[in-house]
Amino acid sequence: MAVYPIILSQTSFISSDDLTYPYQERALQFGDGIYEVIRIYGGRYYLLEEHVNRLFRSAEAVKIELPFTKREVTDLLLELLEKNNMNEDGKVYMQVSRGTAPRDHVFPKDVPANIYAYVQELPRAEEKLQNGVSVITQRDVRWENCYIKSLNLLPNVLAKQTAKEQGCDEAILHRDGRVTECSSSNAYLVKDGKIYTHPETNNILHGCVRMKVKSLAEDLEIPFVEEAFHVEDIQDADEMFLTSSTSEVMPIVNVDSEKIADGQPGPITRKLQQAYDQDAGIEKATEKETVSK
């Protein structure tokens, strides 16, 4: 397996084999930090600016002072790809914590934030993108500030694990029957040619791919209704799908062991998949690879 260098703290790059975490790292003790996952296609970032902007919004929301400007973070992330000779599909995981200090709930004084990032190969889930996935529904028991991409993901982890134990890929979360999002993705329902999804409130993550899908839907003249649908609406859905940086535009074909419509990805989902691929340059990359062979 390839070993990828990792950005540490200020501007140093080290091998992942040599990485050690301070035992008083606040990310480990409190989950006191934020993160981003950025998609890479053919060695190029997708929606990089959007992810960097969200990183800074999350940092501001939890009162972490970043030691870099947005431009400097962007340059470091680009350098990370270069140092890894990354030319494949993959992702970058980037994490920021409040720093290292003696354990105390109160913020430490004059302690710099710790920043880590690593690159990892990530092939596209072609079979699932083609055939769709099955999901379950679960009550949303997370905190009220899900718009912050924080490290406090235990409720998400438990929901995803429950889905896996039931042979499914995701868990659709709901509060009093109103669907918010999934454990690690945004959720959508299609009915009568319209896309419905929870509005951008504190109760959901403002997904970068969600934002792009909204724009793509507008370009395709598909109504994009930011209005929460209910669990009971799922049984009458024409289509469903979810989105995230790693899942892309993923069809949902089964919810709680019940088919969505005919149990096949629907036409609007397919249109959005095609538009997403074109926007990300995925088709062009495939054509270029074919020509080179």
**Which residue numbers are catalytic?**
149
Residues 6+ apart with CB under 8 A from 49: 74
**What value, to the nearest 5°, has the Cα angle with vertex 270 and ends 265 and 275?**
155
List, as one string, the DSSP characters of 73-86. HHHHHHHHHHHTT-
CA dihedral defined by 94, 24, 153, 88, rounded to 10 degrees? 20
Half-sphere exposure of 4 (CA within 13 A, CB side): 19
DSSP state of 139: E
Could you tell me the two tokens for 189? 């329902």
Is the Cβ–Cβ distance between 148 and 112 less than 8 Å?
no
Backbone torsions φ then ψ of 168, nearest 5 degrees: -120, 170
Q: Where would I find the H helices in the chain? A: 26-30, 48-61, 70-83, 126-131, 154-165, 208-219, 267-280, 282-292
Is the Cβ–Cβ distance between 114 and 50 less than 8 Å?
no
CA 26 – CA 162 distance, rounded (Å): 28
CA 213 – CA 238 distance, rounded (Å): 18
Q: What share of the chain is helix, strand, coil (3-state, %, to 5)?
A: 35, 30, 35
